[in-house]
Amino acid sequence: MITKRTYRPTSYLSKYIDRFYIVEHSNNNNSGLPPILPGTGLELLFHINETVSVDSQPLEKGHIVCPRTISYFDHIDNAAFIAVRFKSGAFRHFTSIPFSELNNTYISVQDIWGNRGKELLCKLEHILAIPSKIKEIEKFLLHAFNTYHQTKNDKWDTVIHDLYYHFNEMTIKEASDKTKIGLRQFERTFKDQFGITPKIFQKITRFQDTTKKILLNKNTSYLHEALENGYYDQSHFIKEFKYFSNKTPAKYFSENELDNHFYYKSIK
């Protein structure tokens, strides 16, 4: 059984962080943690008590999750963690490590921020209350932002926002024209900023948005959502869904409980 709780970030961080959330998993009904589906964002996880492993890779007490392909938590009877859900591309304001080195990795907090990351983990070990842990994490992230944020990169926040929320309407050429940068240079700079091409970004966004709607609406009749999100037909959706999840939509949505996932409704 999985229980989830959500906390809003402070107003200053809300531009870059979607939410903090707590996951507590107990293996009462033999169900595991949900798969980590491809997405465009990044999450920072702090494990409470036991750590877990992903695809047989042991994880540190604090680490990032930056999924561009599907992966699975290994079996564990009980797990609990605090997750910081960063908005698409936003994590680059909190570190000097480029996204090209972050995608599909589980880099530890200490490897990202050195001694300051190690000190954060030590502090969290001695704080019992979840809200107090979150306040400590927020204080740490504010310092990281003030250390690594570069104003010259802010314009790419608008680019990622447009492509994320208008993936079904805006072409890469239109996004390029809006920045007044030539198409090839736009594509190169986008990849430098986010570690993937704008075309792949749009594909992942469409997959993520469609899957999220199906799971949150608990509707396995997925074709309507797929067509609404710009897939040409059922075959197109099945092919792309299988590419990102290694399963057909029919198999995935029948095998998984519709509430066994890491998606949330948007915070208003």
* Distance separating alpha carbons of residues 23 and 265, to the nearest angstrom: 16
> What whole-number distance in Å separates Cα of residue 264 and Cα of residue 216?
7
Domains 2-149 and 150-268 share a fold: no
Q: Which residues have C-beta within 8 Å of that of residue 154, sequence separation ≥ 6? A: none
pLDDT band at 268 (very low <50, low <70, confident <90, very high): low
pTM of the model: 0.92
pLDDT band at 30 (very low <50, low <70, confident <90, very high): low
Q: Is 84 exposed, middle or buried (0-12, 13-18, 19+ CB in 10 A)?
A: buried
> Is the per-residue pLDDT at 29 higher than 60?
no
Provide the percentage of residues in the chain whose pLDDT is more than 90. 74
111 CB contacts (<8 Å, ≥6 apart)? 117
Q: Per this entry, what is the length of the chain?
A: 268
Tell me the residue type at 44: L
Tell me how far apart the alpha carbons of residues 43 and 94 are, in angstroms, rounded to a whole number: 12
User: What are the backbone dihedrals phi and psi of residue 92, each rounded to the nearest 5 degrees, phi first?
Assistant: -65, -15
pLDDT band, very low/low/confident/very high, at 49 (cuts 50, 70, 90): confident
Task: Give the homologous superfamily in CATH for domain 2-149.
Answer: Jelly Rolls (2.60.120.10)
- The pLDDT, as a whole number, for residue 105 is 92
- Where is 72: in which H helix or E strand? none
Closest to 96 (Cα-Cα) out of 134, 44, 150? 150
Give the confidence band of 26 by pLDDT, cuts at 50, 70, 90: confident
Q: Which pLDDT band holds residue 266 (cuts at 50, 70, 90)? A: confident
Closest alpha carbon to 137 in 214, 70, 45: 45
Fold of 150-268: Arc Repressor Mutant, subunit A (1.10.10)
**Residue 197's pLDDT band (cuts 50, 70, 90):** very high
Residue 150: phi, psi to the nearest 5?
Answer: -120, 120
- Using only C-alpha atoms, the chain has a radius of gyration, in whole angstroms, of 19
Residue 13 DSSP label: T
Average pLDDT over residues 19-48: 86
Query: What pLDDT score was predicted for residue 206?
Result: 96
**What does the pLDDT look like over 108-121, one tens digit per residue?**
999 999 999 999 99
Write down the pLDDT at residue 1. Answer: 64
Closest CA to 72 of 83, 84, 57, 61: 57
Question: What are the CA-CA distances from residue 11 to residues 7, 19, 121 (Å)?
Answer: 12, 11, 24
202 compared with 29, residue with greater pLDDT: 202
Average of per-residue pLDDT across 93-111: 94
Residue whose entry in the numeric block shows the structure tokens 């990102």: 244
User: What does the domain layout of the chain look like in residue ranges?
Assistant: 2-149, 150-268
248 Cβ contact list (under 8 Å, min separation 6): 238, 241, 242
Is the model's pLDDT at 237 over the cut of 90?
yes
Q: Name the average pLDDT for the chain.
A: 91
